Amino acid sequence: MNTRVQATTYDIEARHPGWPARLGPLKVGAGVVGLRPIRLRDAGDWSRVRLRDQAHLEKWEPTAPGPWRDRNGFWSWPPQWMALRGLARRGQCLPLVITVDGEFAGQITVGNVIRASLRSAWVGYWVSSTAVGGGVATAAVALLVDHALTLGGLHRIEATVRPENEPSIRVLTKAGFRQEGLFQRYLDVAGDWRDHFCFAITAEETGPGLVARLVQQGRAERV
């Protein structure tokens, strides 16, 4: 008996609905965007992009011990990959790589999945500096949120973002999220407790889907 959950089927009783999954492709200004599961052999690309883009990423990410180079070096990826894969297999997250024209361009994760009567999670993402501004992050968010709210069996997705992070706010707004409020001193980022806006979307608000909305608006094209 084959018990593997495919991206084209959904079983509400499965331990890990919606995982693994390959989503897209979706053509935007920067190229063809796709999402796929994280892989152990992503270590080289992941580390290279993270080290190169320290100035681009560090100011928005949670404070963590140790130098950036140590935390994002090649050998930091295998334990992260293993932990994320374990959570995915237990139905607690959906960790995917963002690709542009088939090349590694960032990460996006639906995490802290809570089932039962809440069926909620958060979405977080980062994109390579070379892929910023071309619709990549918006396409990735739309692809994964559509998946999470259908095959993934969730009802609500949240995203938190610092008020100063205007590009990320634009991503969420274009994808269809609405702002719900302000979390004061919510997360330790770049060495201090930072306020964050809370954005959210529920299954009832997506209509035909976030991807369909982007296509209708002329922001993306199915390929």
Domain segments of the chain as ranges = 23-222
What's the pLDDT score for residue 4?
35
pLDDT at site 5: 35
Pairing of strands 156-161, 178-189: unpaired
* CA 163 vs CA 37, 77, 111, 127: distances in Å: 30, 30, 22, 18
Q: According to the model, what pLDDT value does residue 209 have?
A: 97
- Tokens representing 59? 């100011």
Which residue blocks in the chain are alpha helix, DSSP H? 43-52, 54-57, 68-71, 77-89, 136-148, 166-175, 210-216
Report the CATH fold assignment for 23-222. Aminopeptidase (3.40.630)
Mean pLDDT over 19-43 rounds to: 97
**pTM, two decimal places:** 0.91
- Type of residue numbered 163: P
